[in-house]
């Protein structure tokens, strides 16, 4: 993808994990061919930035030489601890594999856009709830054993529920939904399906689906009539109202840059996680990016300490497997020294910041430096109701949605947007180098003026956009 700092390459290893030597090799390729910045996105994809058309080709050859098999078909995503998490309800890997095979068999990859995705969530310690997807399958416990709840177009909260069925029916519904999307063209997503089509999918399980799905998509007429005949099909479960809340699939990745801060609190991948055998140590990249050399150093230390595998996790994290508890604590100390995030309460996990200047040519302000200063000065970042986004320009790559406070760079400096997106008109400006001081003024007022029990978000509302803009402007 073309970005403000040249081409960006996103890699999703098929096997889910890399041996430490592969990550070291990728880091060296990033140094040789890119601008030396590597990223792990909020969805857990690895990105290398600053490539040219020619250097991207060289990088691809080196990825092949490293023996890293990368995903090239429709993403069918599973959690990074799939199959090794003692808390998961079901191992999602077999179902994900069957869906991948069915997609290939139906020839859908070429007919679907690159941002169409499926999530198969077996449950467990690391939630996939925040990931948007065209089709979501989530394992649930039922009297009949494990079932899969199928929903479409959104994250766990906004997706439209269709049905709760066994694995085979879940696969059939997922592939049928993708066929419907493919019929609408490469720009389409499941959010574009009609209520009637969704009702057809919801009713799919209540009659025996063919073992091999038909090649031509709508047997809609057929499905509709069969569906209608099944009056018990809970079409009311397809909440009309949910549509308003839909987030476009792969939000954040659509821009081709590191996604921004999901503010909802879920179990963090950062820290020590118990596995069926042994542990995984989660270490995150601050704001999703790091110089490649730091990643090489961390992976080298991990290899020396006996790590067998490094998995990419959503939340911009790397999970190191195969370490003893004492090796894990040695690696953690090394990560701290290299500037990585090793605690889930690190305030840097609460700020969305794109690369900004100097990494991105479109940037007007040094987003990461501003974010680092704010995080250092405010270790608690007030409370979890505050969303803070720092954007190098109005594109808002790191957080496409609205945030309580957004600092956005433009030719006038660092603008402040209250309760809006980076595209909104700023209410006040400061020079980019001095933006953190303006935010400090707002935070000081929030601390001094918030009422007992009042959240930061509520206090911001009470102070009003004009009052907050004044606080930002005047702090010296
Ligand atoms: S939002 Fe940030 S990363 Fe995106 S184009 Fe602007 S400066 Fe570059």
Residue 236 has pLDDT above 60, yes or no: no
Domain for residue 264, yes or no?
no
How do residues 240-259 score in pLDDT, each as one tens digit? 233 322 222 233 333 333 33
Domain for residue 262, yes or no?
no
The ligand 1 atom nearest the CA atom of 5: 8
Cβ atoms of residues 284 and 349 within 8 Å: yes
Q: How far is the CA of 408 from the centre of ligand 1 (A)?
A: 10
- For the residues 35-56, what does the mean pLDDT come to? 90
- What percent of the chain shows pLDDT beyond 70? 86
Cβ atoms of residues 397 and 255 within 8 Å: yes
Q: How far is the CA of 255 from the centre of ligand 1 (A)?
A: 9
Q: Ligand 1 atom 6: the closest Cα is on which residue?
A: 393
Domain for residue 260, yes or no?
no
157/141 same-domain check? yes
The pLDDT assigned to 382 comes to 67
- β-partners of residue 280 are 273, 321
Domain residues for 291? Answer: 2-74+269-344
Cβ atoms of residues 261 and 352 within 8 Å: yes
Looking at 318, 344, 370, which one is the last position of a domain? Answer: 344
C-alpha closest to that of 257 among 387, 399, 153: 399
Domain for residue 252, yes or no?
no
227/311 same-domain check? no
Cα distance between residue 171 and residue 103, in whole Å: 10
How do residues 162-177 score in pLDDT, each as one tens digit? 999 999 999 999 999 9
236/89 same-domain check? yes
The pLDDT assigned to 244 comes to 29
Residue 304 has pLDDT above 80, yes or no: yes
The pLDDT assigned to 109 comes to 93
Pick from 395, 421, 424 the residue to mutate for probing ligand 1's pocket: most ligand atoms within 8 Å of its CB: 395
- Tally of domains in the chain: 3
Looking at 344, 369, 396, which one is the last position of a domain? Answer: 344
* CATH of residue 186: 3.30.413
How do residues 317-368 score in pLDDT, each as one tens digit? 999 999 999 999 999 999 999 999 999 989 998 899 988 998 888 899 999 9
Q: CB atoms < 10 A from the CB of 15, how many? A: 13
* CATH of residue 368: 3.30.413.10
Domain for residue 358, yes or no?
yes
Looking at 182, 209, 244, which one is the last position of a domain? Answer: 244
Cα distance between residue 279 and residue 275, in whole Å: 5
56/147 same-domain check? no
DSSP string, 237-292: GS-GGGGGG---TTTTGGGTS------S----SSEEEE-SSSEEEEEE-GGGEEEH
136/36 same-domain check? no
| Residue with more model confidence, 125 or 246 | 125
Residues with CB under 6 A from ligand 1: 4, 257, 354-356, 360, 362-363, 391-393, 395-397
The pLDDT assigned to 73 comes to 86
Half-sphere exposure in the Cβ direction for 128 (13 Å, CA) = 30
The pLDDT assigned to 16 comes to 67
435/320 same-domain check? no
The pLDDT assigned to 206 comes to 63
The CA distances from residue 361 to 2, 9, 44, 190, 364, in Å, are: 12, 17, 24, 34, 8
48/85 same-domain check? no
Cα distance between residue 120 and residue 78, in whole Å: 5
225/312 same-domain check? no
Domain for residue 157, yes or no?
yes
Pick from 392, 399, 421 the residue to mutate for probing ligand 1's pocket: most ligand atoms within 8 Å of its CB: 392
Q: Write down how long the chain is.
A: 476
The pLDDT assigned to 379 comes to 82
How do residues 374-404 score in pLDDT, each as one tens digit? 999 988 776 778 889 999 999 998 888 899 9
6/59 same-domain check? yes
Query: Which pLDDT band holds residue 14 (cuts at 50, 70, 90)?
Result: confident
- What percent of the chain shows pLDDT beyond 90? 68
Query: Which pLDDT band holds residue 217 (cuts at 50, 70, 90)?
Result: very low
Q: CB atoms < 10 A from the CB of 146, how many? A: 16
113/173 same-domain check? yes
Which range is least confidently modeled, 151-155, 208-212, 269-273, 448-452? 208-212
Residue 211 has pLDDT above 70, yes or no: no
Domain for residue 261, yes or no?
no
The ligand 1 atom nearest the CA atom of 395: 1
The ligand 1 atom nearest the CA atom of 396: 1
Mean pLDDT, all residues of the chain: 85
How do residues 282-301 score in pLDDT, each as one tens digit? 999 999 989 999 999 999 99
227/276 same-domain check? no
299/428 same-domain check? no
The pLDDT assigned to 359 comes to 80
How do residues 61-75 score in pLDDT, each as one tens digit? 999 999 988 877 899
The CA distances from residue 123 to 41, 84, 117, 119, 344, in Å, are: 21, 12, 18, 11, 20
- For the residues 144-158, what does the mean pLDDT come to? 94
Residue 126 has pLDDT above 60, yes or no: yes
Domain for residue 169, yes or no?
yes
What is the enclosing helix (H) or strand (E) of 54? helix 53-65
* CATH of residue 339: 3.90.480.10
Q: How far is the CA of 414 from the centre of ligand 1 (A)?
A: 13
Cα distance between residue 123 and residue 388, in whole Å: 29
The dihedral formed by the CA atoms of 22, 26, 31 and 32, expressed in degrees to the nearest 10: 100
């Amino acid at each position: 993808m073309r970005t403000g700092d040249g081409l960006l390459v996103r890699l999703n290893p098929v096997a889910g994990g890399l041996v430490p030597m592969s990550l070291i090799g990728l880091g060296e390729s990033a140094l040789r061919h890119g601008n030396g910045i590597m990223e792990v996105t909020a969805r857990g994809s690895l990105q290398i930035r600053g490539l040219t058309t020619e250097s991207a080709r060289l990088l691809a050859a080196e990825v092949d030489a490293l023996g890293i098999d990368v995903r090239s078909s429709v993403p069918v995503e599973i959690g990074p601890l799939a199959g090794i998490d003692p808390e998961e309800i079901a191992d999602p890997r077999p179902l994900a594999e069957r869906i991948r095979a069915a997609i290939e068999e139906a020839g859908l990859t070429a007919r679907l856009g690159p941002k169409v995705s499926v999530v198969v969530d077996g449950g467990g310690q690391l939630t996939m709830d925040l990931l948007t997807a065209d089709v979501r399958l989530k394992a649930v416990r039922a009297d009949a054993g494990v079932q899969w709840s199928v929903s479409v177009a959104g994250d766990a909260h906004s997706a439209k529920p269709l049905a709760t069925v066994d694995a085979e029916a879940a696969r059939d519904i997922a592939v049928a939904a993708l066929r419907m999307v493919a019929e609408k063209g490469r720009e389409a997503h499941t959010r574009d399906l009609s209520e009637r089509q969704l009702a057809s999918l919801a009713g799919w399980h209540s009659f025996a689906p063919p073992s091999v799905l038909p090649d031509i998509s709508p047997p809609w007429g057929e499905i509709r009539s069969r569906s209608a005949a099944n009056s018990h099909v809970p079409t009311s479960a397809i909440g009309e109202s949910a549509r308003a809340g839909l987030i476009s699939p792969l939000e954040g990745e659509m821009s081709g840059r590191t996604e921004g801060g999901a503010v909802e609190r879920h179990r963090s991948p950062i820290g020590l996680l118990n596995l069926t055998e042994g542990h995984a140590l989660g270490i995150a990249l601050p704001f999703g990016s790091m110089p490649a050399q730091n990643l090489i150093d961390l992976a080298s230390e991990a290899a020396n300490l006996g790590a067998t595998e490094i998995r990419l996790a959503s939340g911009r994290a790397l999970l190191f497997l195969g370490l003893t508890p004492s090796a894990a604590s040695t690696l953690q100390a090394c990560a701290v020294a290299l500037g990585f995030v090793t605690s889930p309460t690190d305030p840097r996990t609460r700020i969305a910041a794109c690369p900004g200047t100097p990494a991105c040519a479109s940037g007007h302000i040094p987003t990461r430096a501003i974010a680092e200063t704010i995080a250092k000065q405010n270790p608690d970042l007030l409370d979890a109701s505050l969303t803070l986004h720092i954007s190098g320009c109005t594109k808002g790559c790191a957080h496409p949605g609205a945030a309580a406070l957004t600092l956005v760079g433009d030719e006038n400096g660092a603008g402040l947007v209250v309760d809006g997106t980076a595209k909104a008109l700023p209410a006040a400006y400061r020079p980019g180098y001095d933006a953190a001081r303006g935010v400090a003024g707002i935070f000081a007022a929030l601390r001094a003026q918030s009422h007992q029990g009042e959240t930061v978000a509520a206090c911001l509302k009470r102070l009003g956009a004009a009052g907050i803009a004044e606080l930002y402007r005047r702090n010296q």
